[in-house]
């Protein structure tokens, strides 16, 4: 099959609905999935793709946990996974990022997710597809991911940049969901929803527009860019966005501010 791009349009997905090499994964709310979903889509509950060690949220799952989920969806090494959700792409992007970390790169995000698909007249169903169990086993490669120690080591590295995808009030510390409020020193603020086009069913804005904003912030393509939010949910969308724009060195910070903001050894700016 032709390799699909990292971000695809509903019209393109329509042509692959019955392709056995394409596995469509729905990360909408369970109630929405039961009500209507893309034909052939398999439901994945977002909490099943993360690991929690309070107060740290949004950590990576174990290889055993993630492999069990992936094989249960019938995904194989040859599968191209297309993910979507009903919130603008955060959940679906987190799933895609996790696949990348675990070594599966054949992935696509449906641009606009359920909004673009449903609002533009594409078919929906309540039918639950049959699942074929595979023997696909994955393990954490260590790629596309960093921890607090890595960030601490590179705070003064001119070749490493930080993108904070949270709201402005979280970035400034006016609102906090951890012991400490504020942001990682040197981080640039680009809220994940600022890249969405609300007039076009929550698709990404034109790439040129996004790139211009990123360049203004100093988040240029020659840098290693680390993205984070509160748990690396919203910033997973930023990860996919940057990769789609052609950024070659992008990493996510699992746990994100729920880790950094609750540690005693991490500096903070406000």
Identify any residues that bridge with 127 across adjacent strands, giving them in sequence order: none
User: Tokens 């599966």 appear where?
Assistant: 104
Report whether 249 contacts 223 (CB < 8 A). yes
The SS3 assignment for 14 reads: helix
Listed residue (203, 33, 234, 240) closest to 115, CA to CA: 203
Of 229, 240, 241, 250, catalytic: 229
Q: Distance (Å, rounded) from C-alpha 171 to C-alpha 190?
A: 10
Report whether 12 contacts 113 (CB < 8 A). no
The SS3 assignment for 48 reads: helix
229 catalytic? Reply is yes
Residues labelled as active-site residues: 229
């Amino acid at each position: 099959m032709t390799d699909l791009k990292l971000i695809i349009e509903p019209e393109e997905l329509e042509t692959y609905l019955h392709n056995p090499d394409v596995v469509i994964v729905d990360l909408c709310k369970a109630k929405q999935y039961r009500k209507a979903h893309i034909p052939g889509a398999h439901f994945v509950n977002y909490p099943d793709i993360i690991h929690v060690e309070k107060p740290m949220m949004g950590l990576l799952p174990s290889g055993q946990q993630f492999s069990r989920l992936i094989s249960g969806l019938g995904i194989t090494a040859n599968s191209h996974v297309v993910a979507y959700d009903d919130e603008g792409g955060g959940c679906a992007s987190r799933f895609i990022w996790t696949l990348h970390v675990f070594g599966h790169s054949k992935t696509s995000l449906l641009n606009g997710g359920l909004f673009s698909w449903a609002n533009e007249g594409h078919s929906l169903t309540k039918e639950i597809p049959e699942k074929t169990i595979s023997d696909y086993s994955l393990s954490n490669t260590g790629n596309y991911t960093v921890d607090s120690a890595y960030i601490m080591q590179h705070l003064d590295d001119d070749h490493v940049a930080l993108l904070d995808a949270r709201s402005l009030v979280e970035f400034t510390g006016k609102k906090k969901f951890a012991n400490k409020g504020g942001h990682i020193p040197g981080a640039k603020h680009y809220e994940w929803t600022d890249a969405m086009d609300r007039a076009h069913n929550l698709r990404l804005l034109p790439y040129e527009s996004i790139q211009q904003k990123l360049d203004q912030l100093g988040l240029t393509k020659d840098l290693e860019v680390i993205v984070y939010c509160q748990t690396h949910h919203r910033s997973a969308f930023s990860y996919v966005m940057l990769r789609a724009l052609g950024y070659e060195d992008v990493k996510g910070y699992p746990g994100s501010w729920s880790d950094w903001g609750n540690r005693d050894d991490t500096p903070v700016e406000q």
